[in-house]
Structure 1
């Protein structure tokens, strides 16, 4: 839904009609189109919308996403469920238990990863929420075959690896968005905010979104990003006609049609 100036391109940025929704160190960083902001506020006014991201809670809370404040949000790739902006401690305990039971430790993974990288092509190594880690890399200098080799090691140890542009994420298998989405869906039904059996609609563009998109009743992805480069398909998946900011607007229109939300005149 949000795009940096670089991600949208100078032509779209110069066209205007944008709302800055994120500042970092005092500088504007991320934008939505004014049209998308209206669509998102309209959708939130009639149905539960749950922002879902790989960002950490602190990174998510930097964003003034139209439609907030959010009763529920999912961050850290499903490792955290935010309830009225605060991380749910019981959910996190369950995630930690699942990781210990099925995956190598974060220390073991980061030790192995550090052995495989160098500062000749890695500019940042970050550990997020003591759950997973990611690299920021120079793609042109990245060794050929690194991702396939690293992914194979991760698979054998209960983890997975995904590259989204300059970022390489390394994630324990139990930390996934679909599990957190299912839990929030259950809570919304128990609270009477959704009817039993209500469908889940999802959108995403990265490999870390694939299992969430596949588990939803229906899903959409934009015609750009990691899943586009992988040619990822699914029987319940729709792909936008547009790219970039325009794809964000198209995705919100798809949500509105899919959920049979009345359109304001």
Structure 2
């Protein structure tokens, strides 16, 4: 038996803008926002995920907040476990595990500056000429919605350096620049879910972990897996990020989502 932990946006699901070259004829909508289609998979990808989730344990693992995750009608649901808010929440049968969230909050408070301090510092460094909105996510971290082409060239490097000194980190994924406590990470939450699944007998102790993701916030998850895959696009691709046991898709955009699910299917069959 295998555990698959996978990022969602720009890994398995895509906006039309992120889908890349595609004629749109076989797109399946998996998310509506304000009544309009927002995120898609190919029809083949939806079939692959449905079959995979019926055969092994699949763990959706996303930086989205709980509310944002609940907007997605992901094939294979309902999920016994899901990780949201970059590891800040574990959902058990769709409900937040309050004990886990309390542990994360305690660790974040002990690990460095407060969210209020970081938000204040961020607001002092940005302006409306390139930032459309500043938001917080479930009281754990903040992010700026930016106009990518207008972001000052040195901003991310300088902001990242400031964050590193206080136990936080910064990364950009598409139009969002995330600012995150170091202890709020996907790998910690996935390890906790894996521990629970082994304890209750769902997984054997030797069960391998397979993972996928495209952004810097996925790096810890990919590095901690027994084997991992990333698409040929996104922040990690731009950074030329690699790691032992890492595979990279041949294609990019929404077709990479199909490749990732093919890879999960093949690897879980081998394992």
TM-score range (shorter-chain normalised) is: over 0.9
Contact in 1 for aligned 2:61/2:86 (Cα 8 Å): yes
> Among residues 89, 92, 95, which one is paired with 1:83 in the alignment?
92
Distance 1:37 1:103 in 2: 41
Match of 2:103 in 1: 94
Count, aligned residues: 260
Aligned-residue offset at 1:261: 6.8
Q: Decide which structure has greater helix share.
A: 1
Choose 137-146 or 222-231, whichever is displaced more.
137-146
Q: How big is the alpha-carbon RMSD for the aligned residues of Structure 1 and Structure 2?
A: 1.1
SS of equivalent to 1:212 = helix
Contact in 2 for aligned 1:43/1:261 (Cα 8 Å): no
SS of equivalent to 1:45 = helix
TM-score where L is the length of structure 2: 0.94
> Among residues 229, 244, 264, which one is paired with 1:255 in the alignment?
264
Distance 1:197 1:159 in 2: 33
Distance 1:261 1:43 in 2: 14
- Any stretches of 5+ residues in structure 1 without a counterpart? none
Contact in 2 for aligned 1:220/1:238 (Cα 8 Å): yes
Match of 1:65 in 2: 74
Distance 1:211 1:15 in 2: 33
SS of equivalent to 2:72 = coil
CA distance change for structure 1 residues 70 and 261 in 2, over 3 Å: closer, same or farther? farther
CA distance change for structure 1 residues 157 and 26 in 2, over 3 Å: closer, same or farther? same
- Any stretches of 5+ residues in structure 2 without a counterpart? 1-11
Aligned-residue offset at 1:52: 0.4
Distance 2:76 2:270 in 1: 15
Match of 1:140 in 2: 149
Aligned 1:136-215 pairs, distance under 5 A: 136-215=145-224
Aligned-residue offset at 1:15: 3.9
Match of 2:235 in 1: 226
CA deviation vs aligned residue, 1:96-137 (integer Å, no higher than 9, x gap): 110111121000100111110111110010011010000011
Contact in 2 for aligned 1:21/1:31 (Cα 8 Å): yes
TM-score where L is the length of structure 1: 0.96
Where relative contact order (Cα < 8 A, 6+ residues apart) is larger, the structure is 2
Distance 2:260 2:182 in 1: 28
> Among residues 120, 123, 126, which one is paired with 1:111 in the alignment?
120
CA deviation vs aligned residue, 1:59-116 (integer Å, no higher than 9, x gap): 0000000000111000000000000111100000000110111121000100111110
